[in-house]
Amino acid sequence: MISLQEARAFVLASLTPASPVVVALLAADGRVLATDITADEAIPPFANTAMDGFAVRSADSVGASDDEPVELSVVATLAAGQAPSAAVGPGEAIRIMTGAPMPDGADAVVMVERTRALAGDRVEILAEVAPGNHVRPAGDDLVPGQAVFAAGAVLGAGHLGVLASLGHAEVSVVPSPRVGVFSTGDELVEGSEPLRPGQIRDSNRITMLSLVAESGCEAVDLGRIPDDPDAIAAAIHLGVSTCDALLTTGGVSMGDFDYVKVVLDQIGTMRWMQIAVRPAKPLAFGTVERSDGVAVPVFGLPGNPVSSMVSFELFARPGLRAMMGHDADDLDRPQVMAVVDEPLHRRPDGKVHLDRVVVRYDRDDATFHLRSAGHQGSHQLTGMAGANGLAIVADGDTVEIGDVVPVMLLGPH
């Protein structure tokens, strides 16, 4: 058996980010930026008002108060989107709406709540304002030539908004891989067809397709493949010719018909690992060369339904994220430390256990707490379904109430 760290390092060593592609902004959401972005325009492009109110000369407002208002003459009204057609002279004001450009002559804005409208285009100013009051100067957010985002940034809504503000319709990003998924096993059927003796329904393919899609990749369903070396070889060849990565389940254990590892070894470069974790001990990871010379990674995950999901979290998700250009410290789900609210039973066995747990953030003590999600067998998918975390339980004895353990957050908590 090898350690989790060693297995992970082995997988990650052969995965590199894909070549950048230029995509429309919306398609860049969640992708890793492939180039540095520098501002070539000022944001905001012009000085404008942050408030609805009156653009004034601050000097005119000196001494203004509720009791002693200053009266100004309103010479124009300026909406957002309009260019100023008049300047503000001494004793004058321009009615101005949020986002409208500051007119010449004015150096401050008095918000409408601190004014009183009078008849005949006149207004009373009820407060003294300093120069620059409620004015957003040009370049207040970005100035031309300023570094905006560095390559490697993970683009989210805010980034896309900044790029749109700068006039970018497209951006260069690391693309997400197309990931082919097939399940293996002679016992597998799907849908509602009645089960003949010995058969079970395929649950791994749907969980894997869902995890692949959720991790930001394009999931490609390559079907169910029997425990037949030729069929498995054909499925892998087809998969590598159309996908950037492959994910299979089953056929990587010690059984007589576990052919995935055998075939992968024959047609690619593969390492079959026994990893000191529970569940998800066996993993076959390798690469198969495509006709264009690209080495396509293949994750041969174990067949037990919980094992394949845990293996996905431990190896496939970080691997796929590495292909998507994420930093080495941003490959895994977030981890928090959590207080154990009920014992997590175990015995020393040389393995790290990934217990399916329910994590909850307690607002009263500002601490995460966890308890078992129930069924902990690697065949008991309901325990995984009910879990929103994987507690990372180091080798040793039962973890007692009050102990603190790291937990990988799988979902909302």
Q: Give me the residues that bind ligand AMP (CB under 6 A), please.
A: 183, 185, 187-188, 200, 202-205, 249-251, 253, 255, 258, 302-305
Nearer to ligand AMP, 309 or 405 (CB): 309
DSSP for 323-368?
A: HTT--GGGSSPPEEEEEESS-B-----S-EEEEEEEEEEETTTTEE
Contacts for 195 with CB less than 8 Å, ≥ 6 apart = 189, 201
Nearer to ligand AMP, 270 or 359 (CB): 270
CB of 148 to ligand AMP, least distance (A): 46
DSSP for 140-191?
A: SSB-TT-EEE-TTPBP-HHHHHHHHHTT-SEEEEEPPPEEEEEEE-TTEE-T
Work out what residue 115 binds among ligand AMP, Mg ion, none; the CB cut-off runs from 5 to 8 Å by kind. none
CB of 188 to ligand AMP, least distance (A): 5
Q: Where are the beta strands (DSSP E) in 203-244?
A: 218-225
Nearer to Mg ion, 279 or 303 (CB): 303
> Quick one: tokens of 277?
């974790």
The residue count for binding Mg ion (CB under 5 A) is 3
CB of 280 to ligand AMP, least distance (A): 11
Work out what residue 302 binds among Mg ion, ligand AMP, none; the CB cut-off runs from 5 to 8 Å by kind. ligand AMP
> Quick one: tokens of 282?
């066996």
Work out what residue 204 binds among ligand AMP, Mg ion, none; the CB cut-off runs from 5 to 8 Å by kind. ligand AMP
Nearer to Mg ion, 59 or 195 (CB): 195
| Binding test (CB under 5 A) with Mg ion, winner from 303, 305, 383, 389 | 303
CB of 312 to Mg ion, least distance (A): 17
Work out what residue 165 binds among ligand AMP, Mg ion, none; the CB cut-off runs from 5 to 8 Å by kind. none
Name the residue whose CB lies closest to Mg ion. Answer: 250
Work out what residue 222 binds among Mg ion, ligand AMP, none; the CB cut-off runs from 5 to 8 Å by kind. none
Q: Are 138 and 73 in contact (CB under 8 A)?
A: no
Nearer to Mg ion, 121 or 187 (CB): 187
Nearer to ligand AMP, 103 or 305 (CB): 305
Work out what residue 49 binds among Mg ion, ligand AMP, none; the CB cut-off runs from 5 to 8 Å by kind. none
Q: Are 413 and 368 in contact (CB under 8 A)?
A: yes
Nearer to ligand AMP, 253 or 376 (CB): 253
**Burial tier of 400 (Cβ tally within 10 Å: 0-12, 13-18, 19+):** exposed
Work out what residue 200 binds among ligand AMP, Mg ion, none; the CB cut-off runs from 5 to 8 Å by kind. ligand AMP
Contacts for 193 with CB less than 8 Å, ≥ 6 apart = none
Site for Mg ion in 151-210 (CB under 5 A): 185
**Burial tier of 5 (Cβ tally within 10 Å: 0-12, 13-18, 19+):** exposed
Nearer to Mg ion, 140 or 228 (CB): 228
Site for Mg ion in 242-301 (CB under 5 A): 250
CB of 186 to ligand AMP, least distance (A): 9
Work out what residue 183 binds among Mg ion, ligand AMP, none; the CB cut-off runs from 5 to 8 Å by kind. ligand AMP
Distance CA 373, CA 371 (A): 6
CB of 145 to ligand AMP, least distance (A): 55
Nearer to Mg ion, 108 or 225 (CB): 225
Work out what residue 395 binds among Mg ion, ligand AMP, none; the CB cut-off runs from 5 to 8 Å by kind. none
Mapped onto helix, strand or coil, the DSSP state of residue 127 is coil
Name the residue whose CB lies closest to ligand AMP. Answer: 303
**Burial tier of 394 (Cβ tally within 10 Å: 0-12, 13-18, 19+):** exposed
Task: Please name the residue that has the structure tokens 């006709």.
Answer: 291
- Which value, in Å, is the radius of gyration of the alpha carbons in the chain? 31
**C-alpha pair distances (Å), 112 with each of 5, 124, 133:** 62, 10, 13
126-154 per-residue burial string, b: 16 or more CB within 10 A, e: under 16 = bbbbeeebbbbeebeebeeeeebbeeebb
- 25: which strand partners? none
Q: Which stretches of the chain bind Mg ion, using CB under 5 A?
A: 185, 250, 303
